[in-house]
Amino acid sequence: MQLIPQWKNWWKRHSVQLLALIPIITVARDNLPLLQGLMSPAVYSYTMAGLAISATIVMQISQPSVSGVKP
């Protein structure tokens, strides 16, 4: 297995940032009673699915800030 050349910039990828929202929202919803009232289980599940699908789509978009400008 070989790492991609821009592996040190993994945190800049939009897909990684979207996927990072999943545990952040989960922890916030579990620990803040106000969020539990605002976000029903159905809304929560749709939000998580939407974030996962969005991350999959965004993964396919070129990001010059991560991989550099193509010649």
pTM: 0.78
Residue 7, domain member (yes or no): no
First to last CA, the chain: 26
pLDDT per position as a tens digit, 36-63: 888 889 999 999 999 999 999 998 888 8
Distance of CA 15 to the CA centre of its chain: 5
Asked, for residue 66, whether it belongs to a domain, the answer is no
* Average pLDDT along the chain: 88
In the chain, the number of structural domains is 1
pLDDT: which is higher, 21 or 34: 21
Question: Which range of residues forms the domain containing residue 27?
Answer: 13-58
Per the domain annotation, does 64 fall within a domain? Answer: no
Instruction: Find the radius of gyration of the CA atoms of the chain.
Output: 16
Confidence of residue 69 (pLDDT cuts 50, 70, 90): low
Q: Is residue 31 part of a domain?
A: yes
- Structural domain contains residue 48: yes
Mean pLDDT for 31-38 is: 88
Q: How far apart are CA 28 and CA 16, in angstroms?
A: 19
